[in-house]
A and B are shown apart, each in its own frame.
Chain A
Amino acid sequence: MAHRDPALPHPSQLDCRVNSFAAVTSGQRKAANLWFFDSPKNKARFTIRSDIVFMQCVLLEGLVDVVRYVPHPPAVSVTEECRSIDISADIYSYQSDGTANWLELVAGDRIHGGGSNCSRGKNAAATKQMRYINRARREIEAQGILFDNWLNLCAHINRCKNLIIHKELDFIVERSKFGSVTVRSLLSDSEDPAKMLSAIALSLHRGLTATDLDRRLWGYDSLLEWTGA
C-alpha cells in the first residue's frame, strides 16, 4: 500500500505541547475544571482552571487592543496589618497602549467597591502598576454569543496555524476594501474551505475586518467590512 507523506508538523511546532496527563491527574485538582486552549494571540497552549476564566480568555481574543494576556499569573505578596498575604489575579492583560490590567472574576454579582477581597486586589494591582478590573459572572454570561463566536473563530485559526494562508488573507482584504462581503461569497471562491475560514477568522482577529459578533452567530451570512486598520 502506498503511503503519502502526511502533513507532519515541524519539530519546533511541537514545543507548545502540554503535559495534560500530569495536569489532569494531579492530586491538587480535586474540583477544578480544566481547559486546554490554544491562544492565537499568545501563540501558546494554556492550561486554564475554571469556566469563567476560560470564557474571559476567549473574550480577550476578540479585543483588538489587547496584545497578550496571562491566565492564572503568580501570586503577589501584599502587606496588610503587619502580615503578608498572597493575592493572585485571574488574568493579566496587556494592551497596545502599554496599559496592564489586573482582572479579577467573581462568581456572584459585582462587588460594589467594597469587600476586603476587592480592596486587597486593588492594592496588589497598584503594587504592580496595573489597573484593577473586576467582572461579575453575570457580565460574562451576558456575552454568551460573543464568546461562542470567538470560540469557533479561534478553532478556525488553530486548525490552519501550521499552514500558509497569506493568499487567502490578501484575497479577503482586497475584496472587503471594495465593500462589504459575506462569508458565503468568500467561501464560494476558495478551494480549501478550512484555509479560507482560517483567513477570515484571522482578519477579524487582527482587526482588519469587522462583523457583528455581539448579537449574531457568526456564519455564512456574516457581513465582513473593511476597518481600514
Chain B
Amino acid sequence: MSAPGPRRLIPLALQDLAEWPSPDSSVLDERLRTLYEKRRRAVSMYAIGRPFDEIRKESGLGEDEVQRLVKRCLILHADGSIHGFRALIPNYRVRQYTRHSAVSGNLDGTGYVGALDQLFQKLPQIRDLVHQLFYGTKKGNVLPEIAKPISVIHSRFKKELRLLGYTDYDWPFNTRHSGYQALWSYCRSLRNNDAQNAAYDRCGIEASRRGHVGKGIAPLLPNIRPFSHVQLDFHKVDAASIIVLRNDHGVELEIPVQRWHVGLLVDEYTGAILGAHVALEKTPSADSVLEVLDNALRPEDFGSADPRRGLTQQANVLLRQLIPELKYQCFASLKVDNAWGNAANEVVNNLMDTVGCAVNFGPVRAWWRRRLIEQIFQSLTQHGLQRLPSTFGAGPGDDRITCPNKSAIKFRILLSDLIKVIFTCIQKHNIEPNEGLEWASPVQCNEAALKNPCSGHIHQPLPKITQQGLWLTMHVEEVTVRGNINRNDRPYFVTDRCRYTNDVLAQSFWLFGKTLVIYVDRRHCRIVYATVKETGMRLGLMIPEARWRNSDCSWRDRKLFNRSGLSTRHTDIFEDPAELLAQEKITALLNRPKSRKVKSSSVALSLAKLNRIAPSTNAPSNLDQKPTPQKAEVEQNREQVGDPFGLTSVPPIKSVRRTDR
C-alpha cells in the first residue's frame, strides 16, 4: 500500500481548490460528465493527501494518471489564471498545438498541421511582416494601407518566402493553395485575440469606437430616479420642405429649404420628452440650446394655429403639458455633447445659475453616453420623417430617396407640415407604451413615480421669483456709461451699435465712466436691464433707440445685421431692420437663377427663421401659405369682400409664432 507523499505538485498559493476555475458540468453529456466527476474526485482526494490506493479504489485512476491530471489543471490559462478543473473535461485542450517534427505532407494533402506556426518560429521576420500587413502598421517610409485583403497579404507572404529561397518543394508552395487557408486562419485568430486593435486598422474609426459599447461593465453613474439626469441633443431633420413665395406677377415659387434641426430634452430614467425646439439653422446655436431648455421649463401653450400642436391638433405634447404639475420642473444634471452651441458660456452658466444642476460634456464622439436620446431620434425619424416622400432617408444608399427636394415641391410639403409631423411623433412617444419601460408609457411612469413616495420623484420646481422672470435666456455683458457733462449729453450706454438709456440713468450724471452690468434678453434685444457693477444698484428696464424699439429681433440676429452693415446704411430710423433684411432675402430668392437641379437654399432657411421674428404683413407675408384656392373660389371671395381686382386679397399667413410673454 503506497503511503501519501507530500503533495509537491500543487503550490501553496493554489491549495484551496474552491478557488480553482471549474466548468458548469451540468451542460456536459452523461458520458463526459461521469468521466469528469471521476477525475475531479481523484484530484480532490490527491489535494487533501489521500493515499493513491484509496484514490484508485474510488475513481479507478492510478498514480501516474492522477499526477498527469493535476499537472494539466495547473497549466496557466490565457486569462491569467490556471485551467483548474476545466482541464479535466475529456478532450479539453490546455496548450496550443506546436509542431516539432519536420513538415512532410501525405499524398492526400494532409499532414501539414502546425506548419505555419513552425515557419513563423523559424522565420520571425515573416510573422512580423504578416502582423504589419494585417494591422496596417506604419513602418519606415512605407505608406500604411488600411484593411488589406488576406489575398494581398498572402501574395506578399509568398513573395518574401521566394526571396528567402523557398522552392515549390517546400511548404507552403507544395500545397494546393500555397498555405492560403493556414494564413487566413492565422489572421482570423489575430482578429479574435485582439479585436479592438484589429477594429481600428481593418474596419475604421467608427468600428473601433464601438468597442466602448457593451464591454460588460456597468455604467458608474446610477440612473435610479426621474429627473436626476436629462439629455439634450439636436438632430438634423431627415426630410425636405419648402417655403412658398409669390413674385410681382402673382406666380408662386416653391423654394426648398436647407435642412434644419430639431432639439430635444429627454429624461434619462423614463425617456419622457421634456422640451423640444425647432432650430431653423444649419448648425444649432447657443440660442437654440437655451430655447430647448426654456421650452422644457416654461409652461408655454401652443396656440390654435401653432404647427406644434401636431397633426391631431392636440395642445398636450410635452411632459409638462401632459402632467401640468410638472411645470417648471427642474433636474439635477444635464448631459450634452461637445457641440459649440452647448459649450457656450451663457448656456452652461445661465443654466447652472437658474436650475442649479451639474452639466456634463461626454468624451469626444462618445455617442453612447447619450444612447437614449439617439434612440429616440431614430424612432422619431423612422416613424415620422422617413416615411414622407421628401425624405433624405438613412443615407446616400437608401433606396427610399428619390429627389427629396423635387418631392417636397411636388407634394407641397411645407416647413410647418414637417413641424406638425415631428411634434405628433413627440406626443406619440410620450403617451404610447414602449418595451423599454415594460410596456408603460413615459407619462404613466412619471405619474406612478409621483404617487409612489419610495421612488424619489418629487415636485422640484424653480423658485417662484425665478419663475416670474426666467433669465435663462439672458446675455450678460459689461458696458461703460457714456455722455458728456460739459455738453450736457445725458448718460447712456451703447451695445451692438444701439444706444440705451432710461429715466433713471439719464438723471445719474455720477455714473459717467462707470461700469454697468447689462442683461440682454437674447430673444428680444430691445429688452435690456442694467445694474451698476460697483454697488449693485438696479437701474431697471432700458429703452433702446427708435429703430429697435418695436423690433422683435434677437440679440444674435442684431449682431448679424450689424455685421452686414444693413442697419447702419439702409434703414430709416423707424423701420425694423429685421423686416428689411427679410425683404431683401425675398427679393434675392425671387431673382435667383433657375437651375436644372432643384437645390435647397440657405437663404430660404434664414427667411423662414426671420418670419418668426417679423411676422407682420410687411415682410415675409407670403411664406407657408395654404395651397392656392381654386380660381372660382378666389373670384367668389373677391366679389364677396368687394374687391373685384384682387388688390386686397392676401393669402393667410401660416408661420411659427412665439406667444407674447
**B398 close to chain A: CB less than 8 A:** no
Q: Chain B's nearest CB lies how many Å from the CB of A38? A: 6
Contact B454 A17 (CB under 8 A): no
Question: Which residues of B318-338 are within 8 A (CB) of A?
Answer: 330-333, 338
Q: Which of B218, B353, B463 contacts A195 (CB 8 A)?
A: B463
* Pairwise interchain contact B529-A38, C-beta atoms closer than 8 A: no
Residues in B whose Cβ lies below 8 Å from that of A59: none
Query: Who on chain B is nearest to A157 by CB?
Result: B356
Would you call B471 and A6 a contact (CB within 8 A)? yes
A35-B360 in contact given A24-B343, A51-B221 (Cβ < 8 Å): yes
Interface centre among A1, A30, A36, A51 (most CB of B within 10 A): A36
Min distance, Cβ A150 to any Cβ of chain B, angstroms: 10
Do B224 and A217 have beta carbons less than 8 Å apart? Answer: yes
By a CB distance below 8 angstroms, the chain B residues around A34 are: 360-361
B222, B330, B345, B540: the one contacting A155 at CB < 8 Å is B330
How many Å lie between the Cα of A155 and that of B461 in the bound state? Answer: 11
A160 in complex: contacting residue of B222, B348, B463, B476, CB < 8 Å: B463
Which of A30, A33, A36, A148 has a CB less than 8 Å from the CB of B352? Answer: A36
Taking a contact as CB atoms under 8 Å apart, the answer to whether A219 and B345 are in contact is: no
Q: How far is the CB of A180 from chain B (nearest CB, A)?
A: 15
The answer on a CB contact under 8 Å between A161 and B220 is no
Q: Which residues of B contact A30 (CB under 8 A)?
A: 363-364
Contacts of A52 in B (CB 8 A): 220
Do A217 and B362 form a contact, CB below 8 Å, given A8-B538, A12-B536, A163-B465?
A: no
Q: Which of B449-507 contact A (CB under 8 A)?
A: 453-466, 468-471, 474, 476
In the complex, are the beta carbons of B358 and A151 less than 8 A apart?
A: yes
Query: Is B220 in contact with A21, judged by CB distance below 8 angstroms?
Result: no
Q: Which residue of A lies closest to B350 (CB)?
A: A17
Q: With contacts A45-B352, A194-B461 known, is A24 near B222, CB below 8 A?
A: no
Task: Decide if B423 is an interface residue (CB 8 Å cutoff).
Answer: no
Which residues of the partner chain A approach B364 to less than 8 Å between Cβ atoms?
A: 29-31
Task: Select one of A4, A17, A36, A194 contacting B359, CB under 8 A.
Answer: A36
| Interface of chain A residues 205 through 229 with chain B (CB within 8 A) | 216-221
CB–CB A4/B468 < 8 A: yes
Residues of B within 8 A of A (CB): 218, 220-222, 224-225, 228, 330-333, 338, 340, 342-345, 347-349, 352-364, 453-466, 468-471, 474, 476, 517, 519, 527, 529, 531, 533, 536, 538, 540-541, 660-661
Give 7 nearest A-B pairs by CB, closest first. Answer: A6-B469, A217-B456, A158-B356, A159-B356, A144-B222, A24-B343, A20-B348
Beyond the given A32-B363, A36-B360, A152-B460, could you list 7 further A-B residue pairs with CB under 8 A, ordered by the A residue number?
A21-B344, A33-B362, A35-B360, A45-B349, A144-B224, A158-B357, A194-B464
Q: A-side interface residues toward B, CB under 8 Å?
A: 1, 3-14, 17-21, 23-25, 29-38, 45, 51-52, 54-55, 137, 140-141, 144-145, 147-149, 151-152, 154-163, 183-184, 191-195, 197-198, 216-221
